[in-house]
Structure 1
Amino acid sequence: MVQKTINIYGARQNNLKNISLKIPKHQIVVFTGVSGSGKSSLVFETIGAEAQRQINETQDSFVRNRLQHFGIADVDKIENLNVPVIINQKPLTGNIRSTVATITDIYANLRLLFSRMGEPFVGYSHVFSFNHPGGMCPQCEGSGLEKIELAFLEDVEMICDVCHGSGYAPEILKYHYKGKNITEIMKMTVAEAIHFFDHEYLQQQFQLLMSLGLDYIAIGQRLNTFSGGERQRLKLSKEIDGTNHIIVLDEPSSGLHPSDTEKLIALLNDLVDQGNTVIVIEHNLEIMTQADWIIDIGPLAGDKGGELVFSGTVDDLIKNPGRSFTAFYLRKYLGLF
């Protein structure tokens, strides 16, 4: 029998006041409320942590000892959880050389393309990687930066004067694909790259990033330069093909241009159509209006929050605002007063 709701009984994490509720599955569920109301305590520290802990317990002891450990959430019981995909605003894992291309399949395909179709022919894809001794700049070891140590001040990072910030050994730049070397291609934005390459797989990867509102980023942009919302959308690009998961997002619209909000909403709907449950913490009113289900936590922050203020459809929240500050701003946004 297919379970239609996630059932939570007696959630008391942090400031939560013994909350019990049912969350519909296979829908976009948006958690709202003022900052500090208890949204993250319920979504990340209760639902997310318990889902991950339950998955960990299905592994044998060898695997379990090597997985990230989660504490037991302060909740009586949660039923009908699926495999969680928790996408927060924490920095993306990687090293100083990590870029958009390296955390996706784009980089591997670019290196293969240069090794097979680049001119002059080289035949080995590893030489087009600034993570490999054969391709990295010998001066900065692929980082594109040099650290200057100062005796009584903080260290200073300077652009490498050998590779000029590219991270590649100078001799690698003599190889070209369609008239451009690897550095010139890594400087392309996603919007530029989708018109430059005609290979189907690369087109799919660039189109996915476009749908996430990331058309303006360079494919060689370093990971440590992104905002929290941009990091989330990059992480989401790696999870797009999953099904029957609980996908948890923390304000994915953060840093997103208003014109790209529709793209994000369309992507969230696609995830639901693939059989996933999408749980989103948001302050973006446009995304709230497109939710299948709204759960409002509050009414205020800290000790004056942590209560279940509302759970239902957007229409019902607007018609029956009660103590919900979210309802007030939604009604104002929609021009209802």
Structure 2
Amino acid sequence: MSTRTGTRSPAPNVADSHDLIRVHGARENNLRDVSVELPKRRLTVFTGVSGSGKSSLVFSTIAAESRRMINETYSAFLQGFMPTQARPDVDVLEGLTTAIIVDQERMGANPRSTVGTATDANALLRILFSRVGRPHIGSPQAFSFNVASISGAGAVTFETGGRTVKERRDFSITGGMCPRCEGTGRVTDFDLRELYDDSKSLREGPFAIPGWGPEGWYGRIYIGSGFFDPDKPIRDFTRRQLDDLLHKEPTKIKAEGVNVTYEGVIPKLKRSMLAKDREAMQPHVRRFVDRVVTFTVCPECDGTRLSEAARSSTIRGISIADACAMQITDLAAWVRDLDEPSVAPLLGTLGETLYSFVEIGLGYLSLDRPAGTLSGGEAQRTKMIRHLGSALTDVTYVFDEPTIGLHPHDIQRMNDLLLRLRDKGNTVLVVEHKPETIAIADHVVDLGPWAGAEGGTVCYEGPFDGLRGSGTLTGRHLDDRARLKDDVRAATGALEIRRASQNNLQDVDVDVPTGVLTVVTGVAGSGKTSLVHGNLARREGVVVDQAAIKGSRRSNPATYTGLLDPIRKAFAKANGVKPALFSANSEGACPACNGAGVVYTELGVMETVATTCEECEGRRYQSAVLEHTLGGHNIAEVLAMSVDQAGGFFGSGEARTPAAHKILGRLADVGLGYLTLGQPLTTLSGGERQRLKLATHMGEKGGAYILDEPTTGLHLADVEQLLGLLDRLVDAGTSVIVIEHHQAVMAHADWIIDLGPGAGHDGGRIVFEGTPADLVADRSTRTGEHLASYVGA
């Protein structure tokens, strides 16, 4: 057991109880009766290895209870429309203030959401153009690509003079939406050759669409629609029949004696598939969509999403589409130079909003950038913008690794912003691994000593200076510095990139060496992702990016990695039964809880209560299933094993299962040996989810691995293990290309490609190619300066 060291906050008296957030007996997830006292209006940083309990304490306990208590202040009627939240498992929570969570969650892939709509910038621009733009075309909604222009007539009912009057009135709404692409900026087309085989009839199953076979419901609707001869090959259809098959509007028909709605293939696909987030699709559906659907820039609005009328109104020759396409640094300068006294307050507010983008290191973005394309770090910093100018004080701001995606050059700027929020009289709670940010803390809480069941305790609580000598894992690694390698590997070849011009890249030519560890660096917005993902990811190897893992509370490491399949087969073979019995989502599920392990009870406007299922006692399986064993353990006991324990179990003896053992080995390789096989994905930290994805991709065949900031969520002590994993991949003959800001990874590289010199249109060029030692000796770039300082050169 680790003991708590350092300076402990004194027990509060009546006078100082209002200056502390007191947490006593927190037990969320792996927390083991954690008690801390956090000073208000100060900056507290929470440290510890991934899975040590940081997020469980900060987000799942403190922030969650603050939000739950705020929701309870609303009327019962309003609470009925709000998501219900259970009270965290904690004995005492005192001194809470309103919590504002600024996390790394992506902004989603809604095609209508942009950087401008996600902040107040677009709304302010629309007002500006509606007042000052010439020709004047209407109200702010006339400049909105989310509002269509419609006109018509309708009945209006109202009371006057004690009687009810019904009148027919004309109405007209002028919106800025491009009618061709409906405000998305893109039009879709289908490759009909990939959609169906025209040599087959409907009864023979011509569609390549998942789930559209002739025995399926969709196939039967087309066969029984009466619009076609189901035994005639599609190539023999008349033009009218082919149009009905592909484009017919929804029409009521009777098929197989049932009243149904018939719809052409293409409008049905657009509604059922293309309206969904691509990342939320099942893998086989996503592959189908990628193969069949092509997206092109709308020819009518040229991708601006706006109608011709909206684009015709200008201010000093600039339309709102032009303004949204500008780099924000340029747009801020344009707004600053506008001399329009009639809208001076509006210009002041818009200018402050745009300056906030620049101040937070996002000046290289444009307002028309789709929100779904932002990285986790960019999304988090975008969410910060609305809080920087807020007049609220005594608020608790909660940040989840705000330095993610930041070059060392930019971390100081982020630190300054955190201190500004604190100095306005707010409490700032930060989960962080970077020593540069830990160092600015007024108070540090270090959790551990390890992860999962071996974590969840406070190892140190006190000032930063005491952490270094505390003897904790974080304290011991605080001053870690990777050194430059004495010898670097020689390239076996090269992946050529020629005239790359995606986003801000300026006709870049570069050879990415193969057979070595290549690190691509540069400040945020310099063009790293555009270079690697825009050129190599489409044609080379396996990509492990920061996209979120999709999964429900039933998903766990065993289901996500495919580990459960060989485990189920091994159980089935040993017991002479079907594999489906060993799935809690299939035939083996406990009937009382449907395999969830818990029973959820809705209590109207009150919070939903989750209780352990009494029938299966949380094990998720029918009792009869648990009588079947493998190596002396039933399926529930196996899923309760850690990765390390299961590795030994499936590696030898009666339970030996090579396919399972291989997957478990990959999980251990990425540092997830402490996770239990059945742990819900919803309880994993961001770092754990990232490494779980890496472990899954390690099983794929590819000449190159392309990793996007693999140190995300990694503790200082874990970075060394990651470097060892990257070495093993390269030594096994794989080319590894890493986009990374962490200096330890840069120092360990065989080759560095540095982009810059700045961000946006100030970047997009190769400013250095060579070994880390040459970069340090050269010191001609920002990366070189920071790496030289890091290695002590």
CA distance, structure 1, for counterparts of residue 703 and residue 648 of structure 2: 33
User: How does the TM-score come out when normalised to structure 1?
Assistant: 0.76
Aligned equivalent of 1:68:
none
**Against the structure 1 CA distance between its residues 90 and 147, is the aligned structure 2 distance closer, same or farther, given a 3 Å change threshold?**
farther
**Against the structure 1 CA distance between its residues 43 and 110, is the aligned structure 2 distance closer, same or farther, given a 3 Å change threshold?**
same
Which consecutive unaligned segments of at least 5 residues does structure 1 have? 52-81
CA distance, structure 2, for counterparts of residue 149 and residue 304 of structure 1: 55
**Against the structure 1 CA distance between its residues 18 and 330, is the aligned structure 2 distance closer, same or farther, given a 3 Å change threshold?**
same
User: How does the TM-score come out when normalised to structure 2?
Assistant: 0.35
Paired residues of 1:100 and 1:221 also in contact (CA < 8 A): yes
In the alignment, which of 547, 554, 570 is matched to residue 97 of structure 1? Answer: 554
Does residue 130 (structure 1) correspond to residue 584 (structure 2)? The answer is: yes
Aligned equivalent of 2:734:
276
CA distance, structure 1, for counterparts of residue 735 and residue 569 of structure 2: 36
Amino acid in structure 2 at the alignment position of 1:126: A
Does residue 318 (structure 1) correspond to residue 776 (structure 2)? The answer is: yes
Paired residues of 2:497 and 2:535 also in contact (CA < 8 A): no
Paired residues of 2:626 and 2:636 also in contact (CA < 8 A): yes
Does residue 245 (structure 1) correspond to residue 245 (structure 2)? The answer is: no
**Against the structure 1 CA distance between its residues 126 and 20, is the aligned structure 2 distance closer, same or farther, given a 3 Å change threshold?**
same
User: Can you list the C-alpha shifts for 1:176-196, whole angstroms capped at 9, x where unaligned?
Assistant: 444443223212211222234
Matches within 5 A, 1:38-53: 38-49=527-538, 51=539
Aligned equivalent of 1:108:
565
Higher relative contact order (CA 8 A, sep 6+): 1
Aligned equivalent of 2:496:
7
User: Can you list the C-alpha shifts for 1:264-316, whole angstroms capped at 9, x where unaligned?
Assistant: 22332333334332111112222221111111122333343333221111111
**Against the structure 1 CA distance between its residues 229 and 311, is the aligned structure 2 distance closer, same or farther, given a 3 Å change threshold?**
farther
Aligned equivalent of 2:508:
19
Does residue 158 (structure 1) correspond to residue 610 (structure 2)? The answer is: yes
User: Can you list the C-alpha shifts for 1:180-225, whole angstroms capped at 9, x where unaligned?
Assistant: 4322321221122223442261443322221111112111122344
Paired residues of 1:31 and 1:294 also in contact (CA < 8 A): yes
Matches within 5 A, 1:141-290: 141-146=594-599, 156=608, 158-162=610-614, 163-197=616-650, 198=652, 199=656, 201=658, 202-240=660-698, 245-290=703-748
Paired residues of 2:555 and 2:680 also in contact (CA < 8 A): yes
CA distance, structure 1, for counterparts of residue 563 and residue 701 of structure 2: 23
Paired residues of 1:243 and 1:274 also in contact (CA < 8 A): no
Paired residues of 2:557 and 2:678 also in contact (CA < 8 A): yes
**Against the structure 1 CA distance between its residues 34 and 108, is the aligned structure 2 distance closer, same or farther, given a 3 Å change threshold?**
same
Aligned equivalent of 1:330:
787
Query: 1:135 Cα shift?
Result: 0.6
Query: 1:130 Cα shift?
Result: 1.1
Q: Percent identity?
A: 39
Amino acid in structure 1 at the alignment position of 2:745: I
CA distance, structure 2, for counterparts of residue 245 and residue 6 of structure 1: 11
Query: 1:124 Cα shift?
Result: 3.0
Paired residues of 1:89 and 1:229 also in contact (CA < 8 A): no
Q: Which moved more, 1:123-132 or 1:262-271?
A: 262-271
Aligned equivalent of 2:521:
32
**Against the structure 1 CA distance between its residues 104 and 242, is the aligned structure 2 distance closer, same or farther, given a 3 Å change threshold?**
closer
**Against the structure 1 CA distance between its residues 159 and 86, is the aligned structure 2 distance closer, same or farther, given a 3 Å change threshold?**
farther
**Against the structure 1 CA distance between its residues 14 and 189, is the aligned structure 2 distance closer, same or farther, given a 3 Å change threshold?**
same
**Against the structure 1 CA distance between its residues 40 and 116, is the aligned structure 2 distance closer, same or farther, given a 3 Å change threshold?**
same
Aligned equivalent of 1:79:
none
Amino acid in structure 2 at the alignment position of 1:102: T
Paired residues of 1:253 and 1:261 also in contact (CA < 8 A): yes
**Against the structure 1 CA distance between its residues 301 and 206, is the aligned structure 2 distance closer, same or farther, given a 3 Å change threshold?**
same
Q: Which moved more, 1:5-14 or 1:230-239?
A: 230-239
Amino acid in structure 1 at the alignment position of 2:742: N
Paired residues of 2:590 and 2:620 also in contact (CA < 8 A): yes
**Against the structure 1 CA distance between its residues 34 and 142, is the aligned structure 2 distance closer, same or farther, given a 3 Å change threshold?**
farther
Paired residues of 1:176 and 1:182 also in contact (CA < 8 A): yes
CA distance, structure 1, for counterparts of residue 611 and residue 519 of structure 2: 43
Aligned equivalent of 1:78:
none
Which consecutive unaligned segments of at least 5 residues does structure 2 have? 1-490
What is the RMSD computed on CA atoms of the aligned residues? 2.9
CA distance, structure 2, for counterparts of residue 292 and residue 85 of structure 1: 20
Paired residues of 1:318 and 1:327 also in contact (CA < 8 A): yes
Amino acid in structure 2 at the alignment position of 1:123: V
Q: Which moved more, 1:233-242 or 1:35-44?
A: 233-242
Larger radius of gyration: 2
Query: 1:21 Cα shift?
Result: 1.4
* Secondary structure of the corresponding residue to residue 515 of structure 2: coil
**Against the structure 1 CA distance between its residues 23 and 127, is the aligned structure 2 distance closer, same or farther, given a 3 Å change threshold?**
same
CA distance, structure 1, for counterparts of residue 619 and residue 546 of structure 2: 27
CA distance, structure 2, for counterparts of residue 255 and residue 240 of structure 1: 19
**Against the structure 1 CA distance between its residues 165 and 45, is the aligned structure 2 distance closer, same or farther, given a 3 Å change threshold?**
farther
Q: How many residues align?
A: 297
Aligned equivalent of 1:63:
none
User: Can you list the C-alpha shifts for 1:117-151, whole angstroms capped at 9, x where unaligned?
Assistant: 4xxx563332111121x211224433345555566
Paired residues of 2:543 and 2:705 also in contact (CA < 8 A): yes
Amino acid in structure 2 at the alignment position of 1:299: P
User: Can you list the C-alpha shifts for 1:39-76, whole angstroms capped at 9, x where unaligned?
Assistant: 21222234324x2xxxxxxxxxxxxxxxxxxxxxxxxx
CA distance, structure 1, for counterparts of residue 731 and residue 701 of structure 2: 9
Paired residues of 1:230 and 1:254 also in contact (CA < 8 A): no
Query: 1:263 Cα shift?
Result: 3.2
**Against the structure 1 CA distance between its residues 7 and 228, is the aligned structure 2 distance closer, same or farther, given a 3 Å change threshold?**
farther
* Secondary structure of the corresponding residue to residue 238 of structure 1: helix
Query: 1:253 Cα shift?
Result: 2.0
User: Can you list the C-alpha shifts for 1:102-121, whole angstroms capped at 9, x where unaligned?
Assistant: 2334312322333344xxx5
* Secondary structure of the corresponding residue to residue 713 of structure 2: coil
* Secondary structure of the corresponding residue to residue 537 of structure 2: helix
* Secondary structure of the corresponding residue to residue 142 of structure 1: coil
Amino acid in structure 2 at the alignment position of 1:10: R
CA distance, structure 2, for counterparts of residue 18 and residue 156 of structure 1: 56
Paired residues of 2:756 and 2:765 also in contact (CA < 8 A): yes
CA distance, structure 1, for counterparts of residue 696 and residue 760 of structure 2: 35
Paired residues of 2:496 and 2:512 also in contact (CA < 8 A): yes
Query: 1:160 Cα shift?
Result: 4.9
